[in-house]
Amino acid sequence: MISVERIAWVDLSRVAAILAVLAIHVAAPLVALPIHPASWWFGNVVESSARWCVPVFVMISGALLLASARTADTTAFYRRRFARLGPAMLVWIPAYLVFGYLVNDVPRDLNEAVRSVLAGRPYYHLYFLFVIAGLYLIAPWLEPLVARAGSEGRRQVTAAVIVATAIAIADGIIQQFGIGSPNAVTRWVPFVGYFLAGVLIAGVPGTPGRIRLAGLVAVVGIAATAIGTAAMVGPFGLGLGRGRYLYEYSSVTTVPVSLAVFALLVWIGPGAMARLSPTGRRVVVSAAAASFGIYLVHPMILEGLSRAGLDAMSTVAPIALVVTIAVTFLISWAIVVAMSRIPGLRWIV
Inter-helix orientation angle 291-307/74-104, to 10°: 0
| Total-model pTM | 0.95
Question: Would you say residue 179 lies in a domain?
Answer: yes
The residue type found at 346 is: R
Give me the pLDDT at residue 4, please: 38
Question: Would you say residue 221 lies in a domain?
Answer: yes
Question: Would you say residue 339 lies in a domain?
Answer: no
Give me the pLDDT at residue 178, please: 86
Question: Would you say residue 26 lies in a domain?
Answer: no
Please check whether residue 6 is in contact with residue 271, taking contact to mean a CB–CB distance below 8 angstroms. Answer: no
DSSP states of 285-334 as a string? HHHHHTHHHHHHHHHHHHHHHHHTT-STTSSSHHHHHHHHHHHHHHHHHH
Question: Would you say residue 85 lies in a domain?
Answer: yes
Nearest C-alpha neighbor of 2 from the set 55, 54, 60, 56: 60
Question: Would you say residue 349 lies in a domain?
Answer: no
Question: Would you say residue 327 lies in a domain?
Answer: no
CA distance 242 to 237: 8
Give me the pLDDT at residue 242, please: 78
Average pLDDT of each block of 10 consecutive residues along the chain (349 residues)? 60 97 96 85 97 98 86 87 95 98 95 97 98 97 82 88 97 91 96 97 95 98 97 77 90 98 96 94 95 98 97 93 98 97 91
Question: Would you say residue 344 lies in a domain?
Answer: no
Which residue segment(s) compose the domain that 53 sits in? 4-19+38-277
Please check whether residue 184 is in contact with residue 118, taking contact to mean a CB–CB distance below 8 angstroms. Answer: yes
The number of distinct structural domains making up the chain is 1
Give me the pLDDT at residue 35, please: 76
Give me the pLDDT at residue 149, please: 61
